[in-house]
Structure 1
Amino acid sequence: MTGAVWEPAGAVEETLLGAAVADDRQLFFQVLASSDLYLPQLSGASGPQRFVTLHAIGQVFLPVFTSVRGLAARFGHAVDGYTVTNFAELRRKWPDPDWRLAINPGTPIGAYLSVDALVQAALGELQVPTLGELAETAERDELLDAELRQRHADASYPDSPDDPAALRAAVEAGDVYGYLDRLLDANVLIPTARPADPAEILADDEFPWLPGPDATVEVFTSVEALARRHPAGTPPVVEVALAFALAMWPEGHGIAVDPDSEASFRLPADQVLALLAFEGLDGSADGGS
């Protein structure tokens, strides 16, 4: 890119800039979905077309532009031509499902998203964040992670990692990493609809899960926590490693750990399996201390 101030080239880019200034994201993506797009070609390319790609934030992006001038400003030193296309054709011939679009990269009318997301955004079904919003979110995530790591470093725990007091200590310290480390290493008590053997959990259709009215399965890290939740009498329970139970978790059900206690923890159905992918600060899949 040169040091010149960016200006829109033509009516399409003027409309895009106006939509961006007004934060009318649906109009912005409707214009992109219905306009000509310019796909750069590599200098010296021979034989089958070779795509120019950009690599950022762990993703591969295919850059396209809404004007030849914008394309030349970004890639004029590296390309010897371009192909005129449109979004419908791009989507139909998309080269790799893992790639994403970089539309007008490096300009005030830039957008970075998947081809399917562009359709949703044009229909008003998806609010696509701006690059600035993504950067702000990433910065907040980094600051939060640094804070949680410091809380983990400052926390003090019982000598035995199996001590139930360790979970309470993690909650009191606000140590998310320490809490999940210990929770995923723990055996838990799971109330059931009838007496059952832990091995039955392997039979998805036969294990007597006992979800509540909100399709949430309760699990308990101690007999005391179970008794507090069911003071009138405890239901049948099985004792099983939480990590094992998560691997066989019933589809469409959330999880509530030690409800009605100071160390309670709850996740909706669409986030339960993410617990299995949790990596502790030592990089292990199930945490560890």
Structure 2
Amino acid sequence: MLAAAEADDRAAFLTALAEGPLLLPVSPSAAAGLEPVAWPTGTHDGITHVLAYTSAGAIAAGLPGRSVGYHVLGLADLAVDWPDDTWMLAVDAGLPIGLRLTAEELRSVAAPVVEAERPLREAIRRQDPNALMSALFRAELVLPLRPDGPATRDLSDPEFPWWSLPDEQGRTSLPVFTSETRMRQAFGDHDLVVISSLQLTDHWPDLSWQLLLNPDTALAAALPGEALLKLREWVGELREVITEAAEEEQRRRETAAYAEPSRRGVPVPRTAPESEVDGGPDPDVPLLLQLVIPHRYLPSYLDDGYDRAAGLVHAWHGPGRDTPARLYRRLGLLGEGSPFEEADEWVAVLRWPPGETTPPEWGEGGPRMESLVVPDGTALHCLHQDGRDELLARYDATARRWSPA
């Protein structure tokens, strides 16, 4: 950041600012949790400025002789909770590298991080553990390592330096972060490994430990170790679907029939029968996303209020355009070990409209392997062999149950 400032490279400075922690000065009592944390403000040219600094040294230099603590936030946290659009952000005020940002500039610089963290932030705001696990499932995770621990970085190694810490109630907890930026907000520069949720669930060291997500940041949450079992089961289901789909695609390629070649060594694919030609989604039907549910899981949805799903998310093609077999073939769901068979008389599917938090690439192009918490209002349909499309139930997220149609 200092190098960018010295080079007068505003773009590089703003990039570094978005990736690093910001320290907001607060009173010693607020820093100790004895009084509410207020926005630290000052007035310049008649405009209210929120004061933020890039280090404790910058606070000491910018506010000499004042006894203050500080509250650590990220630029994205400020952008999400910015109190007044007429206010400006003053970073390192009074120092040579200081700069000011309007509310609009602040949101623009922070936008990529805000968007990336949106599912997690919403899950924490709603205190929804299922949505939280869904967000964790898709996230790249940062695991800080025990200081002075063994050199191994292999999670399966018994000597791996897991760094457990007690929480406020004294419970053993494992800190895990969703980015290096979040980790630096809490611990500063620290040795780490970047892992996936699959690695974390496979090697979770002790179910009596709880997971502390982004501790000491504005995006903090906690999950009991038992919740990792659910995530592990979810990951296992998704692995099974991925493996089955990949194996089926490989078999399809190996056994694909070809017409007589137009010249030696150049295969010409056969044209599919007219009845099997896939015309894609009906352009006159609004986009709905769809996901096929294995038969054995249907009672879990209807009877137990199950609200998670994993599999190939794809665009619904419209009424009368699919049968179970046609859908299986299009998605590559047939083959040895698959829970689906071409002779199935019916199959259950989840169907829902994209929402504000739906990634824009869902429903575009080919099917995408995803995991999700079932959105409110999702419809559960039974697609029959004769083409009938029967609505069975709709999901009520407030009541956490499926209401019969």
Using structure 2 for the length normalisation, give the TM-score.
0.27
Work out which structure has the larger RCO, using CA pairs closer than 8 Å and 6 or more positions apart in sequence. Answer: 1
Give TM-score, length-normalised by structure 1.
0.36
Which structure has the highest strand share of the two? Answer: 2
